[in-house]
Amino acid sequence: MAFHEKFRFEDKIALREKIEELGLDIPFADDVSPLLEKPKVSGRELPNRLAVLPMEGADAGPEEGSPGELTFRRYRRFAAGGSGTIWFEATAVTEDGRSNPHQLMLTGGNLGVFKRLVEETRNAARTEWGASHDPLLILQLTHSGRFSKPLGKPAPVVCHRSPALDALQCLPGDHPLLSDGELERLQEKYVAAAALAAEAGFDGVDIKACHGYLVSELLASFTRGGSRYGGSLENRARFLREVFAAVRRRIPELIVTTRLNAYDSIPYPHGFGVDKETPSKVDLTEPKALIRELRTSGLELLAISAGIPYYKPFYGRPFDVPIRGAGIPDEHPLEGVSRLLAIAADLQAEFPGLAVVGSGYSWLRRFFPNVAAAVVTSGGATLIGLGRGAIAYPDFARDLAEKGSLSGGKVCTTCSLCSMMLRRGGPVGCGVRDREIYGPKAAGDGTVARGTATAGRRGVALILDMDGVLIDNIRFHVRAWEKFARRHGIAFDEEVFKKRFFGRTNEAILAGLFQRGFSHLEVAEYAGEKEALYRELYKNEIQPARGLTRLLEELKLRGVSLAVATAGPRANLDFALDGTSARRYFDALVDGDSVAQGKPSPDIYLKAAALLEIPPRNCAAVEDSFPGIQSAVSAGMKVIAITTTHPGDDLGGADLVIDSFEELTAHSILELVEERMPRTRRGRRTGS
């Protein structure tokens, strides 16, 4: 495992040296012409081996789901850019399955608009490349499942209990599961949408089975007991298998494919393609068995993906800058690239007659063709796909064909702006390379277009703990732990509990209460139970700590960067930020699940400083517990202790002790930090 770093490679030699240093199997070729070869898929010759992978634009009409002006613009640009395959974005098969109010949805009422979209896409390709240039057009069909937001608010349609995702979404333990009958009826919706897609002029449809959406979640439904759609692989794959076969029967001329998550990253038994003992390892046994079955039904084209964007997104999308609050991964982006390449290569070797579409190339910038060409030459994939990379650089295929290389000024910077724009409801595009259209949206999102969290800021940061700091919630946590302990027959003493455990991770607390170690899965289950109790107790009383909002406003006006660093789980952090409307103030978020060691280790604070790109010595932390103070001090930060949880005498090691945020001003925080900031020769503080 290596540390994360941004892409800083000026030439191919430097990149190859880094690959060699990390000991990764990433091939490299100087000759990129294999990408311009014309492979055959389903008996059809494609213009080249380059594909645009589906990435939502979130720019459809909210009521009818029809492609809007920006939708048409996006696909005309892809077509004029010369890619041989254009994979149209996720298009919902039902209203309740839309991931946002502006997701595409194909119906009988808007069929004419989709027909026009297909026609204009093909015409754009022919105008630029001649009548013989006919890209393969695939429409992705989806139901967003647990990530459905048809009206802009979460409306989860859940197939199985997943401790990690349930906690992320704050789902109660009694949230209803989609029934077998509902799943059977939903199959027809996919078939009907596929028929409309064929009528609209698409060459094929993709039954989306990736990124934790409904079909993907079904593949991981090991714990869905007593169901035709859970337990065994035969049952978990039933929905995808039956929809695939039904579409093939009804519309035999239509290419049917799937974009498949070969690896979820979520620990067994809640993730597909995951090693049972080591969640970070890929196990392709079940994905291969599934593909083998689909091959018997006529599968000839397969797009490979991995990871859940809402849970450790770097597994599927190596990046320079994470989505705000997601945290920096504990691996080098090249490790993620290598993993995705290896998955595709393994499956291509297993099924040599199958056209496998590889992914994971965007982070490589202008050198992606060198790696992609080597992959194709070695038999590691048939087609090469770009998602984010195509959004930023729609004419990448043109430049490769005409110039033999890509422009460093046009490639995707993997800054995650597009992903953040999608999270905020769209429209989605590249705020860096397509600034005229999408730059205002990126700026309105509060994210700096060049991908740095601290651009234009003072160079000073305040990092706040959550429990007892951001919110005065300690008594509710105590009540939740007490209720939890009684459920499990454990004696509970409030004073002992507060003294021993406040500021520590759930894993450490559980080990102390039960006097034994816990597996990853056990921690997730028990912690999820306790946190659900806490949120239920606190949900009607949540509010920001006294004086905090005024202080945050003042600090933002003074250019101070802000972050939250908590040992608590991400679900609780989201709960606090949304409940207090405080999310807009923070430039970075770090939770207990995003670091290897919780407080008193300095990891959480060091990660927050790294996300802000501000040296720890230029940061102040606000804490309410001794382990938290230790963590911040060890990180090299000034510490302000607040007496919401413990008396001041128990908060040794802090530089300043306060009873509430009403005692603090932006000026006092700046004085505290800047007194030791390094100075230039002229005496001016660096970073000011």
Both structure tokens of 470? 């951001």
pLDDT above 60 for 683 = no
639 token code pair: 């510490």
pLDDT band (50, 70, 90) for residue 494: confident
The Cα–Cα gap between 249 and 226 comes to 29
What proportions of the chain, in percent to the nearest 5, are helix, strand and coil?
45, 10, 45
Cα separation, 108 vs 110, whole angstroms: 6
At 326 the pLDDT is 64
Mean confidence (pLDDT) of the chain = 90
Distance CA 285, CA 278 (A): 15
pLDDT digits (tens, 9 = 90+) for 77-132: 999 999 999 999 999 999 999 999 999 999 999 999 999 999 999 999 999 999 99
Helices (H), 406-519: 417-423, 435-444, 474-487, 494-501, 506-514
* Predicted pLDDT of residue 327: 67
Coil, helix or strand at residue 568: coil
**200 has a pLDDT exceeding 80:** yes
Separation between Cα atoms, residue 139 and residue 665, nearest integer Å: 55
The answer to whether 167 and 534 have CB atoms below 8 angstroms apart is: no
User: Cα–Cα distance between 595 and 81 in angstroms, integer?
Assistant: 41
Q: Is the dihedral of CA 445, 451, 457, 461 positive or negative?
A: positive
Q: Do residues 212 and 311 make contact, with C-beta atoms less than 8 angstroms apart?
A: yes
Model pTM? Answer: 0.70
In this predicted structure, what is the pLDDT of residue 446? 34
pLDDT at 686 exceeding the cut of 60: no
Pairing of strands 383-386, 50-52: parallel
Residue type, 74: R
Q: Judging by DSSP bridges, how do beta strands 44-45 and 40-41 pair with one another? A: antiparallel
From residue 612, give the alpha-carbon distance in Å to each of 52, 439, 561, 599.
Answer: 33, 22, 7, 19
Contacts of 230 (CB under 8 A, 6+ apart): 159, 160, 218, 221, 222, 223, 224, 236
Residues in the chain: 688
- Of 454-463, 538-547, 566-575, give the lowest mean pLDDT range: 454-463
Rounded to whole angstroms, how far apart are CA atoms 629 and 607?
Answer: 16
Q: Are the C-beta atoms of residues 628 and 465 closer than 8 Å to each other?
A: yes
Angle between helices 626-634 and 603-612 (to 10 degrees): 50
How buried is residue 394: exposed, middle or buried, by Cβ count under 10 Å (0-12/13-18/19+)?
A: buried
pLDDT at 149: 94
Within 345-436, strands assigned E span 355-358, 383-386
pLDDT given for residue 629 in this prediction? 94
Q: Buried b vs exposed e over 63-78: b needs ≥16 C-beta within 10 Å?
A: eebbbbebbbbbbbbb
Residue 417 token pair: 């702006």
pLDDT digits (tens, 9 = 90+) for 606-644: 999 998 989 999 999 999 988 899 999 999 999 999 998
pLDDT band at 438 (very low <50, low <70, confident <90, very high): confident
Q: Is the dihedral of CA 159, 254, 299, 355 positive or negative?
A: negative
**pLDDT of 452 higher than 80:** no
Question: How far is Cα 471 from Cα 56, in angstroms, rounded to an integer?
Answer: 35
Helix (H, G, I), strand (E, B) or coil at 609: helix
* Residues 320, 326, 331: CA angle, nearest 5 degrees: 50
| In contact, 614 and 461? CB cutoff 8 Å | yes
User: Which contiguous run of DSSP H or E holds residue 123?
Assistant: helix 111-129
Exposure letters 362-373 (e unless 16+ CB within 10 A, then b): bbbbbbbbbbbb
Q: Return the SS3 of 84.
A: coil
The encoded tokens of residue 416 equal: 């995650």
- Output the CA torsion 472→476→477→482 (10° steps): 150
C-alpha 642/C-alpha 27 separation (Å) is 54
3-state secondary structure of 44: strand
Q: Which of 159, 302, 285 shows the shortest CA–CA distance to 244?
A: 302
- Looking at per-residue pLDDT, the higher value among 256 and 324 belongs to 256
DSSP summary character for residue 157: -
Q: CA 298, CA 316: separation in Å to the nearest integer? A: 27
Q: What is the torsion angle, in degrees rounded to the nearest 10, for the CA atoms of residue 357, residue 329, residue 588 and residue 584?
A: 30
Residue, of 156 and 314, whose pLDDT is higher: 156
